[in-house]
Amino acid sequence: MILRGVRGAITVKKNSRNEIFRATQRLLKKMIQENEIEKEKIASVFLTATTDLNADFPAYAVRQMGWREVPLLCAQEMEVPQGMPRVIRILVHFNTDKSQGAIKHQYLDGTRKLRPDLFGGKK
């Protein structure tokens, strides 16, 4: 097995605890499901939120899913002019036998624009 990373991003409708929790949990569940990740094989999860999302910690939303032993870290995303607003990004590090090319990154609710290299077009 080797340590791999899977990325994901999702937009949040508004800066509220409920919306941050809903979006974070939806994205993480999709990342886990699509990549068939077992919780025991997760090394760590890194979450970021844009500066306009400060109603609560996305990592706390993950803790509410029962993830007590997995190391989690939240940070504020860089504030870039013309950056997409209200975005939560997640990076899950996990042990797997999958190749790098077999990893299915998840970009939901308009965030595919953040990765034109993966979803068509060039940046």
Mean pLDDT, the chain, rounded, equals: 95
Question: What per-residue confidence (pLDDT) applies to 122?
Answer: 55
Q: Is 107 a catalytic residue?
A: yes
- CATH code for position 46: 3.30.1330.40
Q: Is 17 a catalytic residue?
A: no
Q: Is 26 a catalytic residue?
A: no
Which domain covers residue 26, as residue numbers?
2-119
- The catalytic residue among 4, 19, 86, 107 is 107
* Percentage of the chain exceeding pLDDT 90: 89
Q: Encode pLDDT of 3-55 as tens digits.
A: 999 999 999 999 999 999 999 999 999 999 999 999 999 999 999 999 999 99
Q: Is 89 a catalytic residue?
A: yes
Q: Is 7 a catalytic residue?
A: yes
Rounded to an integer, what distance in angstroms lies between the CA atom of residue 90 and that of residue 97?
21
- The catalytic residue among 4, 19, 74, 86 is 74
Domain total of the chain: 1
Mean pLDDT, range 61-89, rounded to an integer: 96
